[in-house]
Structure 1
Amino acid sequence: MNRIKEILQRKAEINEMLKDEKRSKDLDYKALETEIRELNEELEELQTRERLMKETEQLNNGEVEGRTIETFNGNNHEKRELGTDSIEYRKAFMDYVLKGEKIPAELRADQVTYTKDVGSVIPETVLNKIIEKIEAVGMILPLVTRTAIKGGVTLPTSSVKPVATWVAEGKGSDKQKKSTGSITFAYHKLRCAVAVSLEVDTMALPVFEATLINNVVEAMTKAIEQAIISGSGTGQPKGILTETPEDGQALDVDEITYQTLLDAEAALPLEYEANAVYCMTKKTFMKYQGIKDADGQPIARVNYGISGKPERVLLGRPVILCNYLDSFSTAEEGSPFAFLFNFSDYVLNTNYQMGVKKYEDNETDDMVTKAIMIADGKVVDKNSLVVLKKGAPTP
């Protein structure tokens, strides 16, 4: 090209000017430096354009065969990974954004990028998170008493305590009998298994496997907590609400009022009120929160501890929220919608703690993720249980 010859000629002239000691004293070095830099940049662009034109012409004429871009790393001979999702392109794109460096020509198309093309230019990365519907679990399990005794072993209980009597001098008291009962823990197996095909397991992202394991563990926790609240006792732990409350500790409620809580507190024996808590759904609690006493103060309070976690209180007593009960508005007549209970009086016995395993089904080649647990649970002392049931509406 004529322009390339002109640039080379001008650079030679500047070089001669710098060699001439007489003329060099009167030169503007800053201007010459700027001119040389601009000439070099222009020359580089022209030479690159000329080289690409020659290669294209040769390729069109069949003089040069198509080449595959490859990299060599030691003795390993591997094809270079291309495409916008390749590690090399993503690094080059990051350098372009942060440092303004151009993306190498072999990693990009020699075209102009418009706004409609942005989706195919930005690296196609995947965020390591799967968005799922959240379920409320894990509120009940930390509150119960956990044991790990052998199945079939009985736990002694007693409902009678000796009574002391005042006696006169030289007199004795009646001998009293101390009787005991027992609670026997059985074997109940809880199992959750999820299978995926071998192809999915091989090609899935690591986040898929991690999420799958979390789902299995969450399902196990939900099943255990559901059994603690309302389990039938046949093939599963016996739930709290399956127990028959003591006389006067099952209340029929036809309307959510302040008097409802007063009746529940009155039904709770004095010796059991220290650690008893309310258990209900959030919708039921919000109905109580709307009630005010005679002084206009709400009877329900929501405090925030040091960690900022809400702490709900009814008449100074903690409230545990869960979704294993019906709300007052949706409960059928005669169904419990809330209860008072000391959860430490419920014993969950686990012979085999929850274990997560992964194995291959030889028949189908499916990869199975499973969790197994052997457990049983029972109420060992029901005297702190006060159940609120939905009664018939007031005519």
Structure 2
Amino acid sequence: MSTPIDGALMRSLTPGVLGILVRRGADFAAAEDAVQDALVEAVRVWPAEPPRDPKGWLVTVAWRRFLDANRSDTARRRREDLVDEEPAPGPAPARDDTLQLYFLCAHPSLTPSSAVALTLRAVGGLTTRQIAAAYLVPEATMAQRISRAKRTVSGERFDRPGDVATVLRVLYLVFNEGYSGDVDLAAEAVRLTRQLADAIDHPEVAGLLALMLLHHARRASRTAPDGSLVPLAEQDRTRWDTGAIAEGVAILQAALARDRLGEFQVQAAIAALHADAPTAGETDWVQIVEWYDELVRLTDSPVVRLNRVVAVGEADGPRAGLAALDAAPPGTATKGAPVPRRAAVAAYLHERDGDLAAAARLYVEAARSAPNLAERDHLTRQAARLNARLRGGR
């Protein structure tokens, strides 16, 4: 009788197995291929013959696959050296190289998209097909992206100190992709960030984990049955995951107590204030503005400044928000394009101030530069709603 395979267990073991191969002298790209081969073999074998030591089994099979791939005349001498190093059967080494893998996969020489793909494959244990489906690109395209990324980092020393901030940005990029294909990237990002938090004691890692949990807690209420976006103020708060909120707040409080403030801790504090409000009308916007002031100090990001404008509009009224918008630098996003949400923020504030004509025009402008289809549809509906009111409809 076969035993169902535990996919989550396999993915959690992947970085440790890969780290062992690399530390034994395997080239990163070849080691990663060998680990993927071992995972495929595990899917075939484990249901009928589950191993006592899953990690040790994967290490043994991956190492043999690596050796097989290197059997050639030009590699014979090196191969013989490696064979001498082949471990005896038994438990896998206790050393955990997970943190170094995070650093390697988020290497500054990689583009953000390549770093994300390599992290999901090498650290997350996802297949190329799963990653391609999640990002809605052909599998061959994703395979090329991952291969280039592996070649880029293969010459890097495995034990070199890495940049935690870069790793966190990569994980946050994964989280913001949400759900697509058969992989829940938001849940995967939470899992990987938990794993990172186990590997390193760092307040910003805790801050990112708290932020993810607090955002993820609202997931069920973010879209209507027809797939349309539901703004925060209109969400059904009874559908929020109170367990995830409580865990996120506890993690955040412990991080803030260390007095090493960073941008993810601040973002989590803002998310916690939203989660703490029983209704949208009871949100502590004054305190949210204060946290945005901290975030502007830390990042000076045009997007953060826009979010602060919205908070000012809620705390002090729409005219104060419009004044703050006029004072905020225009800013640019990627490739010199204007920050997409500026027109949407202006539309919202003008509507609250009673200028429906200006708001409708700005919603149309915002829809044209919306970063995704769901947001574009939401902004288009807002414009249509106001235009109907201007024509005398309800």
- The structure with the larger Rg is 1
TM-score when normalising by structure 2 = 0.19
Q: Which has the higher contact order (CA 8 A, sep 6+)?
A: 1
Higher-helix-fraction structure: 2
Specify which structure has the higher proportion of strand: 1
